[in-house]
Amino acid sequence: MAGKKYTDEQKDEFFRLLDRGGTVRAAARAVGVNENAGYNWLRKTGLTMKRAVPRIYPPELKTEFLRLVFERQIISTVAVELGIHRPTAYAWARKAGISTSEARRVNPRRDEFLRLRATGFTRAQARAAVGADTRSATDWDKGITIIKRGRIYPDGRVVRYPERNNGVVPERRSRAIGGTVDLNIVEKIIHPRYLGVVEREHLHDLHRAGLSIRAIAVVMQRAPSTISRELQRNTVSARGYLPHTAHRLSVTRRARPRTPKVVANDRLRAYIQGKLSRKWSPQQISNRLVKEFPGAKEMRVSTETIYQAIYVHARGELRRELGTQLRRGRVARKPRKQPDARRPRFVDQMRPISERPAEVETRQIPGHWEGDLIIGALGGSAIATLVERTTRFVMLAHLGRERNAEALRDSLITTVRHLPASLRQSLTWDQGAEMAEHRAFSVATDFDVYFADPGSPWQRGSNENTNGLLRQYFPKGTDLAPHGVGRLLEVATELNDRPRKSLDWDTPAERLTALLEAS
């Protein structure tokens, strides 16, 4: 008689992985068995990988979707607004003969913007001429391609942005034994009196070891009836009790879906819509309901419930109509920054000042610089300042009216290109958006760029002090654009010829000259 093709250990491991939420294909590959054998084992134990219930959309929603797509030529955005599954939305558009790819390729405003830039217009001038917003003009200028929740840069980098959160926990779903489940609900701990997934794993091990229900109850410090009921209700296959499957089944039974109060109560909804149209805030509406309907409990609703009705339950035109009545006019909630989940400030990862070599603090080794901008009147102009920490030598970079990252990168490269290699060690900057091209600057100049902590100007003390001195030449509230490269060189030379107390009354120029002669 031929031996078994697969061992019992492989079969046990297969079901263990399947129970923890893995797919049949992934579990079979992990234990080294054929995918068909995995499906055969699954059928024999009476388990199934149930598919989610298909979504059914009313004909009116499809009609509204096609109308908006014809109008805007953007399928994915309209699908999100109306709450339509994106594959379904693209299928509807394809059957209706709508293709937005050609519309995206042809963009007269972008073409005119690029033509004006080629003739010498600044980005701001070209943007104003074609009537584009700042973000679009920046993307066109940089050659960035917009994709779903992200951007593709000309050098091939792809940046993905997190999904927008409308005030609720983002939905994460998984197909597993027992059907499709919401992972956020599965992972939520409600109360210690309910069995959790860790306890269910412990129960599985004890039950498999042959302990009786009462013995398991003693070990787990639970009532015997709890253990008995758990095994009876959540054992759904010939494989016996599976802890993770049992946990998902209990979570599925726990659900008590109900229609939102604002949606179910026509009178309440009409009142809220009427007050929103008069520019009342949700907080004002919530508290006024108590005064106007003191005896009607069905006319009570919290401020948060009203916001949820606008941002979560309302769809399409209704959401836009209600959202524009709010004080800020938003149709989606603005995500709040979480200290432990901050989005990276730049595309390229920043190197914090904590990673800067310790030798920089001693000021004994030259070549370590600090940098920043001084800003002109109404933020319309700027000058970049560089200070060498050891000698306090100052260099000024011309920017004029261009304060974007590309202009700063090019200006800094031009300013430092004549420095010898020994004076190109590091540059410490604050976390301003103007330094977004720090990687390109570092590659072009061999500088290691570090970023100070937010709100910590003392970490660039030499630069802050120097910027104060420069205000003698460039007072606050004045336009800095007229000061050309020649004027900046003149000011830097005069400042570098001043004796400094910190240098034992030597001048920065003398200290730098001595270093260059010594090297």
Residue 43 has pLDDT above 70, yes or no: yes
> Same domain, yes or no, for 376 and 459?
yes
Residue 423 has pLDDT above 60, yes or no: yes
> Same domain, yes or no, for 437 and 469?
yes
**What mean pLDDT, rounded, does the chain reach?**
83
Q: Look at residue 119 and tell me if it is in a domain.
A: no
Mean pLDDT across the stretch 420-431?
Answer: 91
pLDDT tens for residues 153-174? Answer: 776 677 776 655 444 445 566 6
Amino acid of residue 509:
A
β-strand pairing of 426-429 with 448-451: parallel
Q: Look at residue 493 and tell me if it is in a domain.
A: yes
Cβ-based neighbour number of residue 400 at 10 Å: 19
> Same domain, yes or no, for 239 and 266?
no
Choice between 323 and 382, residue whose per-residue pLDDT is larger:
382
CB-neighbour burial class of residue 408 (10 A; exposed 0-12, middle 13-18, buried 19+): buried
Residue 409 has pLDDT above 70, yes or no: yes
> Same domain, yes or no, for 195 and 290?
no
Choice between 2 and 39, residue whose per-residue pLDDT is larger:
39
What local confidence, expressed as pLDDT, does residue 339 receive?
55
Q: Look at residue 363 and tell me if it is in a domain.
A: yes
For the entire predicted model, the pTM comes to: 0.47
Mean pLDDT across the stretch 344-373?
Answer: 87
CA dist 426 and 428 (Å) reads 7
CA dist 71 and 319 (Å) reads 18
* pLDDT confidence band for 1 (50 / 70 / 90): very low
CA dist 311 and 331 (Å) reads 7
**Domain enclosing residue 23, as ranges:** 8-44
Q: Look at residue 454 and tell me if it is in a domain.
A: yes
What local confidence, expressed as pLDDT, does residue 148 receive?
66
> Phi then psi for 140, rounded to 5 degrees?
-65, -40
Identify which of 14, 68, 332, 29 has the alpha carbon closest to the alpha carbon of residue 177.
14
Q: Look at residue 444 and tell me if it is in a domain.
A: yes
CATH number, domain with residue 392:
3.30.420.10
Query: Would you put residue 140 in left (φ > 0), alpha (ψ -120 to 50) or beta?
Result: alpha
CA dist 216 and 241 (Å) reads 14
What local confidence, expressed as pLDDT, does residue 91 receive?
87
Count of domains forming the chain = 4
Residue 95 has pLDDT above 60, yes or no: yes
What local confidence, expressed as pLDDT, does residue 167 receive?
47
> Same domain, yes or no, for 501 and 366?
yes
> Same domain, yes or no, for 441 and 470?
yes
Mean pLDDT across the stretch 329-349?
Answer: 64
Q: Look at residue 166 and tell me if it is in a domain.
A: no
* pLDDT confidence band for 464 (50 / 70 / 90): very high
Is the Cβ–Cβ distance between 339 and 454 less than 8 Å? no
What local confidence, expressed as pLDDT, does residue 80 receive?
77
CA dist 276 and 59 (Å) reads 29
Is the Cβ–Cβ distance between 129 and 110 less than 8 Å? no
Give the dihedral of Cα atoms 35, 39, 41, 45; nearest 10 deg. 160
> Phi then psi for 154, rounded to 5 degrees?
-60, -30
Residue 2 has pLDDT above 50, yes or no: no
Residue 465 has pLDDT above 70, yes or no: yes
What local confidence, expressed as pLDDT, does residue 277 receive?
83
Q: Look at residue 500 and tell me if it is in a domain.
A: yes
Mean pLDDT across the stretch 417-438?
Answer: 90
CB-neighbour burial class of residue 501 (10 A; exposed 0-12, middle 13-18, buried 19+): exposed
Q: Look at residue 228 and tell me if it is in a domain.
A: yes
* pLDDT confidence band for 345 (50 / 70 / 90): low
Among candidate residues 305, 325, 345, the one where a domain is terminated: 325
Is the Cβ–Cβ distance between 450 and 351 less than 8 Å? yes
CB-neighbour burial class of residue 463 (10 A; exposed 0-12, middle 13-18, buried 19+): buried
Amino acid of residue 95:
K
> Same domain, yes or no, for 431 and 407?
yes
> Same domain, yes or no, for 381 and 487?
yes
Residue 31 has pLDDT above 90, yes or no: no
Choice between 253 and 382, residue whose per-residue pLDDT is larger:
382
* pLDDT confidence band for 425 (50 / 70 / 90): very high
Identify which of 152, 141, 151, 153 has the alpha carbon closest to the alpha carbon of residue 113.
141
Among candidate residues 196, 226, 250, the one where a domain is terminated: 250
131 Cβ partners below 8 Å, 6+ apart?
109
Own/partner long-range contacts of 456-462 (Cβ < 8 Å, ≥24 apart): 457/430, 459/353, 459/428, 460/370, 460/371, 460/372, 460/428, 460/429, 460/430, 461/370, 462/370, 462/387, 462/389, 462/392
> Same domain, yes or no, for 375 and 453?
yes
> Same domain, yes or no, for 494 and 384?
yes
* pLDDT confidence band for 82 (50 / 70 / 90): confident
> Same domain, yes or no, for 309 and 398?
no
What local confidence, expressed as pLDDT, does residue 212 receive?
94
> Same domain, yes or no, for 293 and 434?
no
